[in-house]
A and B are shown apart, each in its own frame.
Chain A
Amino acid sequence: MELCSFLTLDSFLTDPLTHDFMRKALLMSSLVAAVCGFLSSYLTLKGWALMGDAVSHSVMPGVVVAYALGLPFSLGAFIFGVGSVALIGFIKQKSRVKEDTVIGLVFTGFFALGIVLVSKIKSNIDLHSILFGSPLGISLSDVKQTIFISLLVVILLSIFRKDLMLYCFDPRHAKTVGINVLFLHYLLLTCLSLAAVVGLQSVGIILVVAMLITPGATAYLLTDKFDNMTVISVLSAIISSLIGIYVSFWFDLETGGSIVLAQTFIFLFAFLFAPRYGIFKLKKLFSVYK
């Protein structure tokens, strides 16, 4: 690109902002990243990465059916997301098959159903944007839905922040002191489904699980305090989104993939240089300042 040759940092940052679709993409993706990053702390500590993968893939048929019926896609996605988890629980309980196997077979089944439905329904569903996200082509109704769902998840997580932390840490104690553990379990699942729904607009169904686990994993390497972990997770998610969108704009790359790659690089950086838990322990290098 000829642009690149005379780019200054200033124009690198401001030029994309002259486009309406870019402003919208940056705002929406930051919002979605913040929501997913917030949730990410809980999922990584609870060990629900595979569950996140399952739910995010399972929403596929829900999205397709909702589009076909003219319903809000979030509604369909939510029903199938929670439904997949219920089915996983049911099969696990009623058979001798191990849990990770059940998770794998249920979500691939749902995902396959979604793909088959897309080919059969033949409406104006854009398979590519569902699979890989389309933050640059987000419609106004999608914007409204995304804002609504994001606020809902943020409010729920904020209210039950401490209870959810206790649920992830020691559910037995939670139960013993009369806290409704079953409610918290389904609350976290609900938030997971909703976050997957908004996340798939940014990076698509296939990569949305990265939004739900990578920021949390990065933050986990950087702090020993839960509140700090949440803040770092949210910040790293937002920064990754911004980097991903800018890079994809200037170098004409797939946006969803760029966002997730940015997250992966931030994780790798933390993995190598985190003060306490990194391989090279940056703290040691700067120990003169302590």
Chain B
Amino acid sequence: MEKINYQNLRIDAENICVDYNGKVALYDANLRLKPGQICGLVGMNGAGKTTFFNALTGFVNISKGKIRINGESVRSAQKDQTIAYVPQNEGIDSQFPISVWDVVMMGRYGSMNIFRCPRESDIQAVKDAIERVDLTDHLSTPIGNLSGGQRKRTFLARAIAQRASILLLDEPFSGVDIRTEKLISELFIQFKNEGKTILLSTHDMIHVREFCDLVLLINKTVVAYGETSEVFTPENITTTFGGISPDFLFGPES
């Protein structure tokens, strides 16, 4: 078995537990990801996917265990803009009076001064990010007037503008059009080549097989973790989804 070099790990979560006022949401969860790896996070609603993301970003505190991001604490990962979180479409207030440009600029806030005055480099980063997700025609469009796919791309652009080395994506493919789906999958390949690490949650089993090198099956704790080809078996999926067979969940041959 090859020896793991902990310094080279982007994400190293060891036996982490999260509870909300005594209610356990996640326990004894482990995850190790290297640069350039794409990992799928699969589980039922309420299985702890969002909690896992929240623990990695530091949005909730872990009650046990240890998280190292690039060998450092979550706190310094926050300071270094290491992690970008791309929320679910349902997780944001689409009626908020804010434009595409302003949302993407928020990706730069962490590295700006206290007044958040954009410098030339910030403006350039935002321009480039918006161009990469193909929204240049919608710079000043309020996010409320965008389609689901365009909104998803806006938040992807925010993550790009942030120049994070780790991307956490909550259901990146839900409620998006085919064009966005194609663009996201192209971006994933680019991110991989740039050495970024991606952790994405999804309900779609086809996407897991298509993009993910690794898969993490969770149901309050890790059910199985490893190479997609080895771990993503009907038996493991059945266990993850509480005994319901994958055929029933996703149809045969999925």
Which residues of A approach B to under 8 Å, CB–CB? 45, 93, 159, 162-163, 165-166, 168-179, 220, 223-226, 228-229
Contact = CB atoms under 8 A, between A and B. Distances in A.
Contact of A178 (B79, B84, B158): B79
Interface stretch (B94-102, B122-130, B174-182, B214-222): B94-102
Contact of A93 (B21, B75, B145): B21
Give chain A's interface secondary structure class.
helix
Nearest to B57: A176
A225 B83 CA distance: 28
Given A93-B21, A176-B57, A162 B115 contact: yes
Nearest to A228: B97
Interface in B73-119: 75, 78-81, 83-85, 87, 91-93, 96-99, 102, 106-107, 109-111, 114-116
A247 to B, nearest CB: 31
B57 A175 contact: yes
Nearest to B56: A176
B226 interface: no
Interface in B195-220: none
Interface of B: 21, 54, 57-59, 75, 78-81, 83-85, 87, 91-93, 96-99, 102, 106-107, 109-111, 114-116, 142, 144-145, 158, 162
Given A162-B115, A176-B59, A223 B97 contact: yes
Contacts of A177: 78, 81, 107, 109-111, 162
A226 B81 contact: no
Given A162-B116, A226-B102, A176 B97 contact: no
A165 to B, nearest CB: 8
B85 A172 contact: yes
Given A177-B78, A177-B162, A224-B142, A169 B98 contact: yes
Contacts of B110: 177-179
Given A172-B59, A173-B87, 5 more contacts: A159-B115, A169-B96, A173-B85, A175-B59, A179-B109
